[in-house]
Homo-oligomer: A and B are copies of this chain.
Amino acid sequence: MTRLLLIGTGLIGGSFALAMRRSGCFQSIVGYDADASALARSQARGIIDQAITDPVAEAARASAVMIAVPTDAVAGLVRRLVAAIGSRSIPVFDTGSVKGSVIAALRNSGGMPAQYVPTHPMAGSERHGPDAADPDLFRGRRVIVTAQVETDPAALARVREWWVAAGAVVVDASAEIHDEMVALTSHLPHLVAYTYMDWLARARSANPGIFAGPGLRDFSRIAASDPTMWRQIFAANRTVLLQEFDGLLQALVEARDLLRDNRLDELEALLERARAARAGLLERADD
């Protein structure tokens, strides 16, 4: 009897469970969520077969444990799950958007467990909760795996198989490269979009809403994301974000200076480079 233990039955965990049901990788799925109504909803939607109240006590009876909870809770959960699992070969994998701080916390509290496989599915939505769960959420999307030297190769192989079965394209990278690249391609754009919308709304006598069109809507779509989740992501990737933020501010000041000094040929060259860069960078981005 293969059993998936799912901790966190929201958008990511719920979507993975629905994909696993379809693929038949597990014979049963049991789930826990700190939010009792989300847990009940995920059982009602058929995301899990059974709701449990103590995931750590259940861990040794599972074939695999997926941790799909906010980033700042991952390291503590891994530590308690691994203590309960002991030497059993039960892969434990998470879905957090930041990897370095979780890995550092584990190294600083007893070392890297062999069963733990750090993964990050590059999929999401401004919607959240079990009602947003979708078995196709990971279809064609990348999942970054940041395995450590201590990671058990068998656990790693199985986690990769499950993500592939969920429709994902699995990519390996170091935690350092992962955290830098997601800062650049996701975390910093979120922070800019959030800051832009807050600034736009603050201290305006007129309401700019009637002038807002599809450009602003797309530019700021990520500012509709869950503030609690993003507070945690920003905090978890804080060191990398602060480094990169200064570089971005410098680039913005330089662009401002091109306009201020009427260096319009240089400004147009910037626009041309940006358009070409976007076409090149997003060639592989998901639709």
Residues of A within 8 A of B (CB): 122-124, 141-142, 144, 171, 177-178, 180-182, 184-186, 189-202, 204, 206-225, 227-228, 230-231, 234-235, 238, 241-242, 245-249, 251-253, 255-256, 259-260, 262, 264, 267-268, 270-287
A19 to chain B, nearest CB (A): 18
The complex places the Cα of A246 from the Cα of B249 at a distance, in Å, of 11
Instruction: Name the residue of chain B whose CB is nearest to the CB of A189.
Output: B219
Oligomeric state, in number of copies?
A: 2
Pick from B124, B182, B260, B278: contact of A242, CB below 8 A. Answer: B260
Q: What is the predominant secondary structure among interface residues of chain A facing chain B? A: helix
Pick from B124, B255, B280: contact of A191, CB below 8 A. Answer: B255
Pick from B141, B210, B220, B242: contact of A259, CB below 8 A. Answer: B242
Q: Is the CB of A213 within 8 A of B277?
A: no
* 29 A–B contacts, CB within 8 A, in A order: A142-B210, A180-B206, A181-B210, A181-B211, A185-B200, A185-B213, A189-B196, A190-B215, A191-B255, A192-B219, A195-B252, A197-B275, A197-B278, A198-B274, A200-B277, A200-B281, A201-B274, A207-B281, A212-B281, A214-B285, A217-B286, A218-B219, A218-B221, A220-B278, A227-B268, A231-B268, A234-B267, A242-B256, A245-B252
